[in-house]
Amino acid sequence: MPIEQTLSMIKPDGVKRGLIGEVIGRFEKAGLKIRAMKMLHLSLNQARAFYAVHKERPFFDSLTQFMSSGPIVALILEGDNAIQVNRDLMGATDYRKAAPGTIRADFAKEIEANIVHGSDAVETAQVEIAFFFNALERV
């Protein structure tokens, strides 16, 4: 299995609901190493830039308002097959379709406010990591 890095975010709903420790605990128990971490509050424009790939989708305005509604935690996770391992921990985008025991199945209450983000491919992971972290911030 390749050692990969992936970008994770604990979204504003996860931070507001006090789930930072719960989510990070799941990452660590799954063997993912935290290589960088920060809390920040995205502006609307920053959220729109991060989710630019979705700009034609009907939920783009709502999603970017939600993502800029409060602080988030951004992390670089590293490990064997880290991108898929993280996606498996998160569960499906729609919490109603997420496998039991996943973060979204256990905690999400809406398709939009679904607790976590995780990169979906090597190329997007590189872009998303660079969006949040400069070289000095990565260990």
Residues belonging to the active site = 117
**From the list 26, 117, 128, 133, which residue makes contact with ligand GDP (rule: CB under 6 A)?**
117
Tokens of 50: 């991060």
Contact status: 120 vs ligand GDP (CB under 6 A):
yes
CB of 26 to ligand GDP, least distance (A): 16
In whole angstroms, what is the distance from residue 18 CA to residue 127 CA? 28
Nearer to ligand GDP, 41 or 109 (CB): 109
Task: Please report whether residue 131 would count as binding ligand GDP according to CB under 6 A.
Answer: no
Is 114 a binder of ligand GDP (CB under 6 A)? yes
Show the binding pattern over residues 73-112: x = contacts ligand GDP (CB under 6 A), - = does not.
--------------------x-----------------xx
| Closer Cβ to ligand GDP, 22 or 120, answer by number | 120
Q: Do the Cβ atoms of 32 and 77 come closer than 8 Å?
A: yes
CB 87 within 8 A of CB 7: no
Q: What's the first-to-final CA gap in the chain, in angstroms?
A: 21
User: From CA 91, how far away is CA 88, in angstroms rounded?
Assistant: 5
Q: Quick one: which of 67, 83, 76, 54 has its CA closest to 15? A: 67
Q: Which residues bind ligand GDP (CB under 6 A)?
A: 59, 62-63, 93, 111-112, 114, 117, 120
